[in-house]
Amino acid sequence: MNRLNHLARIMTLSALLAASGLTITSCSSATVAHGDSSATNANSRFETLYQAEWAWRQNKSTSDENTDDNYASSSLPDVSIAAQQQRLARWQSTLDTLDSIDVSALSEANQVNYAVYRLQIETLIADQQFKTYEKPLLGDTAFWSNLAYQARKTFRHEQDFDNYLAWLQDMPRYFDQQIANMRLGLARQFTLPEISLQGRDASVISVVNAKGKDNLYFQPFTKIPASISSAKHAELKARAQAVIAEYVIPAHQRLLTFLQEQYIPNAQPSIAGYDLPDGKAYYQAQIKKYTTLALTAEEIHQIGLAEVAKIRQRMHDVMKEVSFDGNLQDFLTFLRTDEQFYVDTPQALLDRAAWTAKEFDGVADDWFGHLPRKRFAIIPVPDDIAPFYTAGRGGPGVYLVNTYDLPSRPLYSLPALTLHESAPGHAFQMPLSLENNAIPEFRRQSYISAFGEGWALYSELLGEEMGLYHTPYEIFGMLSYQMWRAARLVVDTGIHAKGWSRQQAQDFMKANTALSVHEITTEVDRYIAWPGQALSYYLGQMAIVEHRAAAEKALGADFDIRHFHDMILQMGSVPLAVLEQRVERFIAEGGPSPYQE
């Protein structure tokens, strides 16, 4: 699909603002001149609005997910029905105020902020209207397993340990509210499909069965700094064991009983998003949420089929290069079964992932002018979630590598996985956003899947140019991962909008990717449980690739790949229409480094 045909389907920045009937324009000097009361008023109103709402949102919504490694929250969020209704009212009021702001009077920077912020608010409203809080678990995460991040933190101050103990004591209230919401979802069959819930109680069981110092929530107390007295050490550890026994384990036991006796046995039997309450509208809202595009399920399905065919041709080219005698299915079987592509120990897999990550460090300066300060650790996926967890996941400070079932973790795919999840993918892009004080906090700390996943998938492609794939098999591993994400466009829409069975989706993945059977099973189950999210990757990458090609053609010898990448990453995380306009500006200005502005 050529750039014009594809981008014709992408929402323009103006379309993001269609609800207000306004058009984005560059501000003239007259518009932004000092003394222009209209511009001053518009900018002031908008900045006051988003700053107040963001502060309120942080206080209300995210104390269960704070990612500051050295900070402890003292409570968990209020997720009660009353609180959900308050959220909806606040965001609807915010949208009403956004409608009343003259966008054309905003500064150029605030026009971009407005487009990003408006999409955030519209998405939040849609989630409340569809009551997604009644289904607080997704493909391989859940509200209870998300809390485990807090247990991995290292606290430095006595007050943080006190806060953490208070946070643990708040678990019963928080779990009871979540269970109440899940009961409402269960009553209207707004749940994960029953097949997606098999084994999902394992992470709850692991907390229930671990007493005292063996419980994962005791971990911060094994790292009490020496600056705290030995007497206080003993006191904190004793309090922790008591709190775990009195609050943490009983909360998890009530959740476990609910899951095993009511929720899992009575969950939604269908795997299709269309079969959920108001399913067609719900799935379309998820498409908009994760892709930021105004595409229908059928349009995405057809894009996926076209891209699968293109990638398949290049796969055949690699087969010829290695002189393989057989068809694609024979080659995939060879890749899945030949011992040369697998390791025998978890540490060996971690070591190979670390090697690729360090190889990138050696060429980073050639491809990026600005690097994040935040480093990342490479750690295995925890045992209790590894059987149904994805192959890897990255973010600020961490690259998780799944070492479960080593015969399903091929080495030829590991370089692509590493580039996606660590650097220059998620563990690179996300810190750059968090460290960028030139954009508002609501952009620094927010994540738009089409942008973030699109960038991470583009990072896999970039690995070939960077010389980080050393064999034709590793190139094929990258192509298999490209195929995996293109196939997602077909499979996700097939499952949720076209009546595909679980087996049909698995068969399509087996026929077109080199993923192991285990990984195909867990991945398809993730798409079943998380409608729309899988669509964001390839559509996001397509946009970045097309924009880069346009910039290279327009700028010619003036094109600098470091400037292009820095420009993309300086944005934080934005809708694809906003990205398109930023690239157009980059071209018009001659392709400068954004850090010289």
pTM: 0.85
Q: Are residues 223 and 125 in the same domain?
A: yes
Q: Clarify whether residues 130 and 241 are in a common domain.
A: yes
Instruction: State the total domains in the chain.
Output: 2
pLDDT in tens, 32-65: 444 467 778 999 999 999 999 999 998 876 444 4
d(CA 324, CA 482): 21
Q: Are residues 343 and 227 in the same domain?
A: no
In a shared domain, residues 47 and 155: yes
Of 210, 72, 262, 63, nearest in space to 153 by CA: 72
Which tops the pLDDT comparison, 21 or 161?
A: 161
568: left (phi over 0), alpha (psi -120 to 50) or beta: alpha
Higher per-residue confidence, 382 vs 115: 115
Asked if residue 413 belongs to a domain, the reply is yes
| Neighbouring C-beta atoms of residue 511, cutoff 10 Å | 13
Q: Is the pLDDT of residue 114 over 50?
A: yes
Pair (326, 259) in one structural domain: no
230 in the same domain as 158: yes
Strand ranges of the sheet holding 377-380, from the earlier edge strand across to the other edge: 377-380, 398-401, 392-395
**Residue 283 domain-assigned (yes or no):** no
The CA distance from 593 to 597, in Å, is: 7
Query: 327 and 257: one domain?
Result: no
Is 315 in the same domain as 241?
A: no
Q: What is the pLDDT of residue 385?
A: 82
- The mean pLDDT of the chain is 90
Q: What is the pLDDT of residue 70?
A: 60
What is the span of the domain harbouring residue 526? Answer: 311-445+458-482+499-531
On the question of pLDDT at 68 being above 90, the answer is no
231 belongs to a structural domain = yes
Q: In this structure, are residues 168 and 217 in contact, taking their beta carbons and an 8 Å threshold?
A: yes
Stretch 352-373: mean pLDDT, rounded? 96
Which residue type does 310 have?
Answer: K
Residues 72 and 212 in one domain: yes
Mean pLDDT across 445-467: 96
Residue 301 in domain: no
Amino acid of residue 160: D
What number is the average pLDDT over the span 145-164? 90
If one counts every other C-beta atom within 10 angstroms of the C-beta of residue 250, the result is 15
Percent of residues, the chain, with pLDDT higher than 90: 83
Residue 12 lies in a domain: no
Best CA proximity match to 391, nearest among 374, 361, 366, 411: 411
Q: Please check whether residues 236 and 319 belong to one and the same domain.
A: no
**Residue 569: inside a domain:** no
Q: Cα–Cα distances in Å, from 393 out to 264, 514, 557?
A: 26, 19, 37
Same domain? For 520 and 405 the reply is: yes
How much is the pLDDT for 61? Answer: 62
Res 469: pLDDT: 97
In a domain, 396, yes or no: yes
Does the pLDDT at position 339 exceed 80? yes
Quick one: 256 and 325 in the same domain?
Answer: no
Residues above pLDDT 70, as percent of the chain: 92
Span between the terminal Cα atoms of the chain, in Å = 35
In a domain, 375, yes or no: yes
Q: Which two tokens stand for residue 537?
A: 């990757």
Q: What is the pLDDT of residue 13?
A: 36
